[in-house]
């Protein structure tokens, strides 16, 4: 990294955000977050150093509010930081020297941006306690509003003849209001949270969902639920109404991953990691404790195991026996293949 004055550091972002009437942060937008060791050019590294010096950054993880007057004094402000000079919203610089649990809204939002900008993958940074850090926010056509201040804002908007539209009330905004990664298609923006990693070539249909700290390698077809902590390998297809088990609640502590070229049938469910080239039959919910009868290629019955013993293995088909309803696992050859034209969004 050319930025010797800042070594070592984890991430940096200059953002603009919203506060409530008490001055508490509601959200922050970081248009160009940076990850340590990956400054895009020498002039950005120089501006980064200049801003740190101007703000009195002395190391460690710091959140420092920035004024337009300060930005105007930077020797290279006409480049990277010039758009922030005329901001009517609060501007903040976040310096993260180490990857520890976020302690403030700006820190949490910077880490969510790193994921959606594809600078880190799910599980690639510490997000412990993020739910306690993030406030609940009313996301409206006029921006973020503290729910306690929403009634007054709604009345003011109606009296002015411009009714306020509340899209949702949640701790996480929709990703595409902050980041639109290249090469993707999302049919319903509200179903992909900021902090999702959406790989190039991914299609998220109307009923598809991707949570924060989860994502797809791309290309992928997502018509089901990618829960928090879940990673979907390239070429895999999640059928309509299917779900993957996250680790935020429910007692599951093993992050679920889906290998390359896998298929989760419509309305199926997955509670174990899959290797490559696996298929889960439509309507079948496979948990770690599910008892699975192994069936050899010649059709002979084998022993019965718990599904967790098959976690991470490739080339498997999980199905229900249509005669007796038993859950079975068979080895299969070949893999699914996504329509290349359907997932070329560049």
Angstrom distances, CA of residue 27 to CA of 32, 67, 174, 227, 260 = 16, 18, 12, 23, 35
Token pair belonging to 203: 């299609």
From residue 299, alpha-carbon distances to 167, 279, 291, 310, 331 in Å are: 53, 18, 18, 19, 10
Q: Give the active site residue among 223, 281, 328, 337.
A: 223
Q: What is the DSSP letter of 136?
A: P
Q: How far apart are CA 78 and CA 167, in angstroms?
A: 36
Whether 223 sits among the annotated catalytic residues: the reply is: yes
Separation between Cα atoms, residue 200 and residue 221, nearest integer Å: 11
CA distances from 58 to 2, 55, 61, 90, 124 (A): 18, 9, 9, 22, 26
Residue 173 CA to residue 194 CA, distance in Å, equals 6
* Token duo for residue 228: 């928090």
Ranges of H-type helices in the chain: 42-54, 68-72, 105-116, 130-133, 150-159
Strands 214-216 and 301-306: unpaired
Q: Which two tokens stand for residue 109?
A: 């939002």
DSSP-H helix ranges across 95-175: 105-116, 130-133, 150-159
Question: Which residues have a catalytic role annotated?
Answer: 223
């Amino acid at each position: 990294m050319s930025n010797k004055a800042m070594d070592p550091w984890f991430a940096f972002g200059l953002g603009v955000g919203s506060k409530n009437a008490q001055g508490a942060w509601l959200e922050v937008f970081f248009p160009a977050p940076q990850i340590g060791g990956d400054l895009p050019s020498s002039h950005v590294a120089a501006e980064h150093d200049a801003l740190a010096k101007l703000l009195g950054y002395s190391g460690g993880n710091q959140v420092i509010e920035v004024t337009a007057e300060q930005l105007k004094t930077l020797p290279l402000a006409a480049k990277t930081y010039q758009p922030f000079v005329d901001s009517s919203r609060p501007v903040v610089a976040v310096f993260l020297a180490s990857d520890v649990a976020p302690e403030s809204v700006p820190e949490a939002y910077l880490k969510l941006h790193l994921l959606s900008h594809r600078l880190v993958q799910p599980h690639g940074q510490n997000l412990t306690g993020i739910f306690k850090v993030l406030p609940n926010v009313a996301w409206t056509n006029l921006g973020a509003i503290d729910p306690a201040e929403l009634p007054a804002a709604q009345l003011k908007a109606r009296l002015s003849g411009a009714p306020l539209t509340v899209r949702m009330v949640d701790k996480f905004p929709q990703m595409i209001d902050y980041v639109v990664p290249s090469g993707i298609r999302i049919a319903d923006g509200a179903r992909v949270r900021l902090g999702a990693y959406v790989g190039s070539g991914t299609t998220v249909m109307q009923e598809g969902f991707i949570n924060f700290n989860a994502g797809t390698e791309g290309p992928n077809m997502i018509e089901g639920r990618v829960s928090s902590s879940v990673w979907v390998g390239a070429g895999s297809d999640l059928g309509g109404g299917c779900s993957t088990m996250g680790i935020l609640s429910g007692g599951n502590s093993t992050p679920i991953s889906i290998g390359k070229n896998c298929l989760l049938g419509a309305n199926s469910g997955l509670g174990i990691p899959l290797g490559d080239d696996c298929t889960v039959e439509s309507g079948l919910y496979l948990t770690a404790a599910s008892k699975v009868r192994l069936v050899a290629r010649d059709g002979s019955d084998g022993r019965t195991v718990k599904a967790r013993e098959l976690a991470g293995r490739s080339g498997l088909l999980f199905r229900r026996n249509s005669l007796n309803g038993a859950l079975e696992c068979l080895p299969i050859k070949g893999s699914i293949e996504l329509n290349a034209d359907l997932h070329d969004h560049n």
